[in-house]
C-alpha cells in the first residue's frame, strides 16, 4: 500500500499491465513526452515500438487500435482529452462498438480507450466535454469513470485485461486526489461493481466521476444538520450496478443523482429512470438530478464555474427532499 | 529583393506583424501573472505567414483558423480592443467571453472561426467557398491549418471537396515544424505537406514563411486562380514557433535542435524591417509605427481591464438564437 495520486494510479496500472502482457501496447498523441505523468519511464522500459506517438489523426489511430485488437493485440489508446474523441466517432461507433455483434461473435476487440475530461479551467466549449452519456447510448462499449486513485488503478487494470472494448473517462478534477492504493500486481476492481463511498440513511446520492467528491463534501456538511447522505459511486456506467443503487434507495427512500455531464440523457437521467422504474414503491420524494445544464461551457471563468454540480446545489436539494424546506421541482 | 506593394501596403504589413508581436508579448506576460485564464498559444515567429496570406485577401474574403488564434485576426485587420478583452474573458470581447485565447474570431472581418479542434476548419473553408460560389460572389475562403493538422481526415476531406468542385478555396498549412512535442517529420508522411496537392490535382506551393512578401505573392496567385474559377491551391508556409506549444506551462516540450538559433536569426519582423530600410523607408517612420502600436496595446489592455465580465445569464445565450431557460437550482447558487 502506498498513498498515490489518481494520475500515478493510471501510470502504475499501465506499467504493470505492459509488464505482464506483451500484447499490451500504447498509442496516443505526445504520450512519450509524458505531459501528465501517466507514462513516466515508459519509453526506456518498454521501447518505442510499444509506446507510440501518433500523428494527430484520432479516427486513424483509434480505428487502428480496433484493427490491432482484432488480430490479438491489446492496445491502450490515450486520446488525451475526451473532446478529441469526436473526430473518431466513426471508428468508435461503427467499428469498435459493433464488430463483435455484426460478425456474430467472430471479432474480438480487447482495447482500452482512455480520455480525460478537462473541465472547469476556462478551456472553452471545444475542450471541456464530459461525453460519456453519448457512449452509454451506444451498445458495445463498456465505460468506467472512477473518482479515486484506488478505483482508477483497479478498474484500469481490469479494463486492460477485459476482452471487450472499454472506454475510460478520467475526470481532471480527480487527478491530484490521493488514496492508499495496493501494489499487488493483481489488484483488480471488477467492471460493473459500484461502491458505497459513505454510508447514510436519509438520501441516496448516486454521483458520477468528479461528482463523487462534491457529493462527499455535501454529505459532510449535511451531517452537521442531521441529514444523512449515502454516497454511491457506480464507478462503471456500462454495465451499471443497478442492484447496489436500488438497494440503497429502498433503504433511504430518496435519491439525488449528481453528474457533471449535461443534463439531457445524462448518466443521471438513466440512473433516475432506473430508480423510478424499479424502486418506485420505496420513494418518498421525487428523484432529483444535479447536473451541468444543457448549455456549452464558456471560457469566462466567473460564468463557467457555477454551471457544474456544486456542494451548495446538493445541500439545498437534500434539504428540500427531507422536507426541511418546501419542495419545488427544479 | 525589393518589398512588394506601394508604400502604404508595405508599412501596413510591417504594422500588422508588429501588432501581433506586441499584442502577444503583452498577453504572455499578463497570462504569466494570472490575468488571462486558460491556455495561451502564441504565434510568435509566424507573423509573416498570417500577415502575408491575409494581405492577399479582401476584407470580404473568408478565413478559418486554429487554436493558435491571435495572429490571424490581427493579420486580417481586426482591432485590438475586442481581442484583448476576449483574452481576459470580458463581455466586450470579440466572442463575448465565450471563446477566449483559442478562439479570437472576428466575423466582421470575414472570420468563420478559429477552431481549437485540430483540423476541423478544413470542411468549413470548403463550405464557405461553396457558399460564395453558389451565391455568385467572387469571394474566396482561406483555411489556415498546422502541420500537425495535416494528418486529420477533415483537412483531407475539405481539400478533396474543394478540388473536385473547383471551389475558390486556399489551404495554407503553417508548418511551424512541430505539433506540440512531435516534429513534423514524425507525423507527416512524405517530405512536404504541399506535395499532397498532386494527389488532388491542384497546385502545391512551398513558400518561405518568414518572408511576408513571398507569402503574399504565393497567396495572391492562389487567390487570383480561385476567383477565376480554377479551384483551390495548397500552400505550405515553412515557418517556426518560438515559444512553447502553449506558454507558461512550466516546461517546453518542443524537441528543438540547433536550428532554433537559425530560425530566430531569420525573425520575420527583423527581416522585413531590414528590407524596408534597404528600400529607403525612413527608420523614424518604422519607429513611429512601433511606438503607436505600443500605445494601441496599452489602450486595448486598459479597455479590457475596465470592461465588465459577462453576467451569469449570458452562459445561456448563443446556444440557440433565443436564450435558454435557466434552471432555478443553478441560478439560485450562481
Ligand atoms: C482533434 C484534436 N486532437 C488533439 C488536439 C490537441 N492539440 C492541440 S494543438 C495540437 C498540436 C497541433 O499542431 P499543429 O496542427 O501543427 O498546430 P500548431 O500548434 O503547431 O500551431 C494538439 C495535438 C486538439 N486540439 N484537437
Ligand atoms: Mg505545427
Here the CATH number for the domain that contains residue B186 is 3.40.50.970
Coil/strand/helix, residue B193? helix
Please tell me the pTM assigned to this model: 0.97
Query: What are the Cα distances from residue B245, in Å, to A84, A115, A128, B148, B259?
Result: 17, 20, 19, 12, 17
Residue B142 lies in a domain: yes
| Interface touch A306/B333, C-beta < 8 Å | yes
Residue A42 and residue A51 in contact, taking contact as beta carbons nearer than 8 Å? yes
- Ligand 1 near B168 CB (within 6 A): no
Helices and strands, counts by H and E, chain A? 12, 14
Tell whether B37 is within 8 A of chain A (Cβ): yes
Alpha helices for chain B (secondary structure H): 7-32, 47-55, 71-76, 80-87, 121-134, 153-164, 184-187, 197-200, 212-227, 259-265, 268-278, 283-306, 328-332
Q: For ligand 1, is residue B116 a contact (CB within 6 Å)?
A: yes
- State the closest ligand 1 atom to the C-alpha of B145, by its place in the atom list counted from 1: 15
The helix/strand/coil state of A292 is strand
Partner residue facing B181 (CB), from A30, A125, A302:
A30
In a domain, B104, yes or no: yes
What is the C-alpha separation between B22 and B24, in angstroms, rounded? Answer: 5
Asked if B319 lies within 8 A of A328 by C-beta distance, the reply is no
Q: How many domains does chain B have?
A: 1
From A58's Cα to the closest Cα of chain B, the distance in A is 8
Q: Which of A16, A4, A5, A36 is nearest to A157 (CA)?
A: A16
Number of Cβ within 10 Å of residue A163's Cβ equals 11
Residue B2 lies in a domain: no
Q: Do domains A2-181 and A195-329 have the same CATH topology?
A: yes
CATH class of A195-329: alpha beta
Residue A204's CB: how many other CB atoms inside 10 A? 30
Is A296 a residue of the active site? no
**Domain residues for B82?**
7-332
Residue in chain A closest to B114 (alpha carbons) equals: A126
Ligand closest to Cα of A30 equals 1
Nearest residue in chain A measured CA to CA from B317: A295
Ligand 1 pocket check for B31: Cβ under 6 Å = no
Note whether residue B173 is domain-resident: yes
Chain B environment of A60 (Cβ under 8 Å): 151, 153
Q: Is the CB of B186 under 6 A from ligand 1?
A: no
Which residue has the CA at smallest separation from atom 19 of ligand 1? B179
Q: Which residues of B touch A32 (CB under 8 A)?
A: 181
Residue ranges in chain A modelled with pLDDT below 70: 324-330
Residue percentage of chain B with pLDDT more than 70: 100
Of A32, A299, A330, the CB nearest to B99: A299
- Top-level CATH class of A2-181? alpha beta
Cα(B129) to ligand 2 centroid in Å equals 25
Across all residues in chain A, what is the average pLDDT? 97
As a whole number of angstroms, the distance between CA B155 and CA A5 comes to 38
Q: Rounded distance, CA B328 to CA B94, Å? A: 29
> What are the tens digits of pLDDT across the range B124-181?
999 999 999 999 999 999 999 999 999 999 999 999 999 999 999 999 999 999 999 9
Q: So where are chain A's domains?
A: 2-181, 195-329
B102 touches chain A (CB under 8 A): yes
Flag whether the ipTM exceeds 0.90. yes
- Could A124 and B152 be called an inter-chain contact, meaning their C-beta atoms sit closer than 8 Å? no
| Helix residue spans in A126-241 (DSSP H) | 132-136, 149-161, 211-223
Distance from CA of A105 to the nearest CA of B (A): 30
SS (HEC) of B45-74: CCHHHHHHHHHCCCCCCEEEEECCCCHHHH
The answer to the question of residue B1 being in a domain is no
pLDDT at A326: 57
What are the pLDDT tens digits along chain B (334 aa)?
677 788 899 999 999 999 999 999 999 999 999 999 999 999 999 999 999 999 999 999 999 999 999 999 999 999 999 999 999 999 999 999 999 999 999 999 999 999 999 999 999 999 999 999 999 999 999 999 999 999 999 999 999 999 999 999 999 999 999 999 999 999 999 999 999 999 999 999 999 999 999 999 999 999 999 999 999 999 999 999 999 999 999 888 999 999 999 999 999 999 999 999 999 999 999 999 999 999 999 999 999 999 999 999 999 999 999 999 999 999 999 8
Contact between chains at B38 and A123 (C-beta distance less than 8 A): yes
Backbone angles phi, psi at A292, to 5 degrees: -80, 130
How does the average pLDDT of chain B come out, rounded?
97
Q: Is the CB–ligand 1 distance for residue A84 below 6 Å?
A: yes
Which numbered atom of ligand 1 lies nearest the CA of B184?
16
CA distances from A49 to A40, A46, A57, A160 (A): 16, 8, 18, 18
Residue closest to A175 by CA, chosen among A6, A4, A3 = A6
Amino acid at each position: 500500500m502506498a498513498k498515490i495520486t489518481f494520475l500515478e494510479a493510471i501510470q502504475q496500472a499501465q506499467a504493470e499491465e505492459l509488464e505482464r502482457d506483451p500484447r499490451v501496447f500504447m498509442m496516443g498523441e505526445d504520450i512519450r513526452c509524458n505531459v501528465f505523468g501517466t507514462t513516466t519511464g515508459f519509453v526506456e522500459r518498454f521501447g518505442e515500438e510499444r509506446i507510440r506517438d501518433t500523428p494527430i489523426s484520432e479516427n486513424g489511430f483509434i480505428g487502428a487500435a480496433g484493427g490491432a485488437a482484432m488480430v490479438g493485440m491489446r492496445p491502450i489508446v490515450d486520446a488525451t482529452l475526451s473532446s478529441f474523441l469526436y473526430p473518431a466517432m466513426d471508428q468508435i461507433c461503427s467499428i469498435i462498438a459493433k464488430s463483435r455483434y455484426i460478425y456474430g461473435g467472430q471479432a474480438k476487440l480487447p482495447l482500452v480507450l482512455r480520455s480525460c475530461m478537462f473541465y472547469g479551467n476556462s478551456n472553452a466549449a471545444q475542450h471541456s466535454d464530459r461525453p460519456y452519456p453519448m457512449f452509454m447510448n451506444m451498445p458495445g462499449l463498456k465505460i468506467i469513470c472512477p473518482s479515486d486513485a484506488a478505483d482508477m488503478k483497479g478498474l484500469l487494470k481490469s479494463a486492460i485485461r477485459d476482452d471487450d472494448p472499454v472506454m475510460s473517462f478520467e475526470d481532471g478534477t480527480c487527478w491530484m486526489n490521493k488514496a492508499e492504493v495496493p501494489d499487488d500486481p493483481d489488484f483488480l476492481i471488477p467492471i460493473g461493481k459500484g461502491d458505497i463511498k459513505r454510508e447514510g440513511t436519509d438520501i441516496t446520492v448516486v454521483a458520477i466521476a468528479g461528482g463523487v467528491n462534491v457529493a462527499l463534501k455535501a454529505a459532510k456538511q449535511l451531517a452537521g444538520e442531521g441529514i444523512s447522505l449515502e454516497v454511491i459511486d457506480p464507478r462503471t456506467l456500462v454495465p451499471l450496478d443497478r442492484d447496489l443503487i436500488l438497494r440503497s434507495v429502498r433503504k433511504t427512500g430518496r435519491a439525488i443523482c449528481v453528474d457533471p455531464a449535461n443534463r439531457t440523457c445524462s448518466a443521471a437521467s438513466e440512473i433516475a429512470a432506473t430508480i423510478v422504474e424499479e424502486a418506485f414503491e420505496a420513494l418518498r420524494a421525487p428523484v432529483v438530478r444535479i447536473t451541468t445544464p444543457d448549455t456549452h461551457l464558456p471560457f469566462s471563468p466567473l460564468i463557467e464555474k457555477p454551471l457544474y454540480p456544486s456542494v451548495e446545489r446538493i445541500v439545498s436539494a437534500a434539504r428540500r427532499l427531507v422536507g426541511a424546506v418546501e419542495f419545488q421541482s427544479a | 529583393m525589393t518589398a512588394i506593394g506601394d508604400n502604404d501596403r508595405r508599412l501596413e504589413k510591417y504594422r500588422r506583424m508588429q501588432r501581433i508581436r506586441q499584442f502577444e508579448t503583452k498577453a504572455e506576460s499578463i497570462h504569466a501573472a494570472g490575468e488571462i485564464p486558460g491556455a495561451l498559444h502564441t504565434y510568435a515567429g509566424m507573423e509573416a505567414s498570417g500577415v502575408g496570406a491575409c494581405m492577399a485577401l479582401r476584407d470580404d474574403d473568408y478565413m478559418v483558423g486554429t487554436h493558435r488564434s491571435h495572429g490571424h485576426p490581427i493579420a486580417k485587420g481586426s482591432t485590438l480592443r475586442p481581442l484583448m478583452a476576449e483574452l481576459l474573458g470580458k463581455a466586450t470581447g470579440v466572442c463575448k467571453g465565450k471563446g477566449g485565447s483559442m478562439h479570437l474570431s472576428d466575423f466582421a472581418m470575414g472570420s468563420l472561426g478559429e477552431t481549437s479542434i485540430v483540423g476541423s476548419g478544413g470542411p468549413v473553408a470548403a463550405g464557405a467557398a461553396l457558399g460564395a460560389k453558389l451565391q455568385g460572389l467572387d469571394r474566396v475562403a482561406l483555411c489556415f491549418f498546422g502541420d500537425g493538422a495535416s494528418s486529420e481526415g477533415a483537412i483531407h476531406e475539405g481539400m478533396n471537396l474543394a478540388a473536385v468542385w473547383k471551389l475558390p478555396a486556399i489551404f495554407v498549412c503553417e508548418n511551424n515544424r512541430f505539433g506540440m512535442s512531435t516534429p513534423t517529420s514524425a507525423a507527416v508522411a512524405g517530405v512536404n505537406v504541399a506535395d499532397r496537392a498532386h494527389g488532388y490535382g491542384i497546385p502545391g506551393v512551398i513558400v518561405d514563411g518568414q518572408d511576408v512578401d513571398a507569402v503574399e505573392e504565393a497567396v495572391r496567385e492562389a487567390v487570383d486562380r480561385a476567383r477565376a474559377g480554377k479551384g483551390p491551391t495548397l500552400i505550405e508556409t515553412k515557418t517556426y514557433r518560438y515559444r512553447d506549444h502553449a506558454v507558461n506551462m512550466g516546461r517546453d516540450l518542443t524537441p528543438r535542435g540547433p536550428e532554433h538559433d537559425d530560425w530566430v536569426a531569420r525573425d520575420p519582423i527583423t527581416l522585413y524591417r531590414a528590407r524596408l530600410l534597404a528600400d529607403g523607408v525612413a527608420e523614424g517612420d518604422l519607429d513611429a509605427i512601433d511606438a503607436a502600436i505600443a500605445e494601441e496595446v496599452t489602450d486595448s489592455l486598459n479597455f479590457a481591464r475596465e470592461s465588465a465580465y459577462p453576467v451569469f445569464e449570458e452562459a445561456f445565450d448563443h446556444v440557440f438564437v433565443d436564450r435558454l431557460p435557466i434552471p432555478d437550482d443553478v441560478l439560485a447558487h450562481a
